[in-house]
A and B are shown apart, each in its own frame.
Chain A
Amino acid sequence: MNKILTIMWKDVNILFRDWAAVILIIAGPLVLTVGMGLVTGSFSRSDAAPSISLIPVVILDQDGGQFAEALVELFTGEGLNELVSTSVSTDEASARAQVEGGDAAAAIIIPPGFSNSFVPDMASGDLPDPVPVEVYADPGSPIRAGIIRGIVDEFAGRAQIGVSSVQIGMNELAAGGLVSTAELPSIGQAMGGQLLNEAGSEALAAGSLIAIRNESAVAEGSDDFNPLAYFAPAMALLFLMYAVTLGARTLLAERREGTLARMLAAPVTSSQVLSGKVAGIFLGGVIQLGVLIFLTTILFRLNWGNPLGVVMLVLAAAAAATGWGLLIAAIAKTPGQISNLGMAITLIFGILGGSFVPLQGGASLIDWLSRLTPNRWALDGFTNLALGEGLAGLVVPISALLIMAVTLFAAAAFIFRRSQSALLSA
């Protein structure tokens, strides 16, 4: 283990002694983030500052009850018109097709019996079995789908609280002897009616719900989504790929300069050498991301979200990027090839992964290709964190990044094992 750490530390030491590299991988993303901030008006924080584009949603009411109408009203009313663009559908297949075709981030399907599931039995006071609203989401647009799912859940929760209030009120009245058991059904009906009447529904739709979503859909303490919360990680991830490419380059540079052979002539196994090199590339990436997160927090007062989540995501993103770096090193024949290939992949991944332009989701080819990039998954994760989601919002991105890392490590190790003699003799 000591030898792995020795090799790792040597590589990190060399990487961060190269001032040209440090300027490129640290100052580069900072400058670009500032540029993006100026372009998007993030620093002025004016009302005109652009935000994430409207989320396309399709809603289908198969219930027709008052709760269903309230939910439709919530999505089609003015309260959410700066966040979502909702179309009403009358056909379930069509609604699903819109999601599958990438025209909508999610379809909200309100099944028959939804409203009645909130109405307690007048005699027993028990609620019927719940009838959940289905949010048919585009897996290629997890952030947007997550926002829609959150709004629907919030609506259902609020409705549930209202119904529970009615139940508690009825129980209190009965327990206090203020009303007779015979009077309970009619009183419950009156209270339920109050909850379900138009005014109540409107209040539900236009009031607290919207406020709640606004709070959770922005970085803490701000009034709208700060584009820097997107562009800072986007640029950091873009240059993360470049940083791991620099690290991977040292694998072949060590071969060319004879230091790899010299290491292998010492009492060190080839696994230790490779592990040390991999750890060095990984740690270099982690340090680069960490420094950028620290600097953007200090300089731009950017809130990256849950600190534990940020750490987990940084580690997973660096691991996946390291995997790509290793694969490039395994395929390339010379350090120069790694540089060229690495630069090309950095840019391609940046474009595909949303580092330059936010991804719009959908089932397009670009969306599918984006899933091969660490940029896309890490960016999803960082955006989730910035939107206030907790660790649950990182399950998919981190899983994808770790699967990517393991797969790429295995592929690179396989290629390296096959070419070990060439590694020394080239």
Chain B
Amino acid sequence: MSEPILIAKDLRKNFGDFEAVRGISFSILRGEIFSLLGPNGAGKTTTINMLSCLIAPTSGGAEIAGHAVIEDSLTVRRAIGVVPQEIALYDALSARQNLEFWGRLYDMNGKTLAGRIDEVLDQVGLADRAKDKVKTFSGGMKRRINIAAGLLHKPQLLFMDEPTVGIDPQSRRRILDMVKDLRDEGMTILYTTHYMEEAEELSDRVGIIDQGQLIALGTQEELTRVVGQQETLRLHLHQDAAVALAGANGAGSPDHDGGIDLFNGVAGVLRAIATDHEIILNVTDAGEALPGVVNQANQAGLLVRSVDIQQPNLEAVFLHLTGRGLRD
């Protein structure tokens, strides 16, 4: 069994009266992709900021590669690479100049740095744009250079904070493939996302985080066992779910967590929430619940475009544990 490269113990962070992270403990094994999955504002970035020595925890601590994050932060920072959620690059400089700058901060220089820059530019597929200013790049290309800057010094542990936010599907596909390639090359990755599909595709293990707490942790199989045989029904609507419900017969507005009571009493329905253009229902058996759900939706006057039935997944786990959807 692989040894842990990161051990976090009861990490807490308060900003004034607000508890952003409320006692998180977990470990990451060498060579695995560990995802922190949770909605926006769950505490993912604050956790990464504490682990990458950017902010001090209010209490608790962590060790990375055998070094305490607080007491030995310079050593820890040499061992980690960080791909922040923002595009942390200089628009006025070329891709190569950006990478030269970040490489020098990791004590790289000369031919070593030049050679490594060529490698990472190849890795992210932008070798032919090395001399172009970053401001001429598309969002997806910037994201890739953002990742390249975190890879330059071959970190033992790479933190990737929502690296696919706001980019086109093609660029996202490329980044996800790149992350898997990095894992295959032996790099350990802590990946945060609020996209359930990404966590499912990439992760060896997943920690589900919500409101500053780690509410579940394990492999995907271990987590979905939590919801047993529960399935998920997705009703895709023609309009925003909250708007549709407001105009529907006998349907109240969603509560602050998105929960709705329109389907209460329908056979097999455990819980229902509204999010974006969807109503997501946690059901014991999709086949049994589907007729009643569709009938109830029709009676309420909801215009349902399509219906999906999903096997137990991480979103169902999150819904089961929190009563809310991941994208709330």
Which A residues have a C-beta under 8 Å from some C-beta of B? Answer: 2-3, 6, 10, 13-14, 17-18, 257-259, 261-269, 421, 424-425
Contact = CB atoms under 8 A, between A and B. Distances in A.
Given A266-B106, A267-B106, A258 B54 contact: no
Contacts of B97: 13
Contacts of B54: 261, 264-265, 424
A377 to B, nearest CB: 33
> Residue among A3, A262, A269 with the most chain B CB within 10 A?
A262
> Residue among B53, B78, B93, B101 with the most chain A CB within 10 A?
B101
B84 A2 contact: no
30 contacts: A2-B104, A2-B107, A6-B101, A6-B105, A10-B101, A14-B93, A18-B92, A257-B87, A258-B84, A259-B90, A261-B88, A262-B82, A263-B105, A264-B53, A264-B54, A265-B52, A265-B53, A265-B54, A265-B77, A266-B77, A266-B105, A267-B74, A267-B106, A267-B107, A268-B77, A269-B74, A424-B49, A424-B54, A424-B55, A425-B55
A3 B82 contact: no
> Residue among A2, A13, A259 with the most chain B CB within 10 A?
A259
Nearest to A18: B92
A367 to B, nearest CB: 42
A425 B14 CA distance: 12
Contacts of B149: 262
> Residue among A2, A10, A269, A425 with the most chain B CB within 10 A?
A10
Given A258-B87, A261-B54, A267-B74, A17 B92 contact: yes
B152 to A, nearest CB: 10
Given A18-B92, A257-B88, A258-B87, A265 B82 contact: yes
B107 A257 contact: no
Query: Is chain A's interface secondary structure helix, strand, loop, or mixed overall?
Result: helix
B137 interface: no
Given A257-B86, A259-B89, A262-B102, 15 more contacts: A13-B97, A14-B92, A14-B93, A258-B87, A259-B88, A261-B54, A261-B88, A262-B149, A263-B105, A265-B53, A266-B105, A266-B106, A267-B77, A424-B49, A424-B55
What 7 pairs across the A-B complex have the smallest Cβ distances? A258-B86, A258-B88, A262-B88, A266-B105, A265-B82, A6-B104, A267-B77
Interface in B52-103: 52-55, 74, 77-78, 80, 82, 84-90, 92-93, 97, 101-102
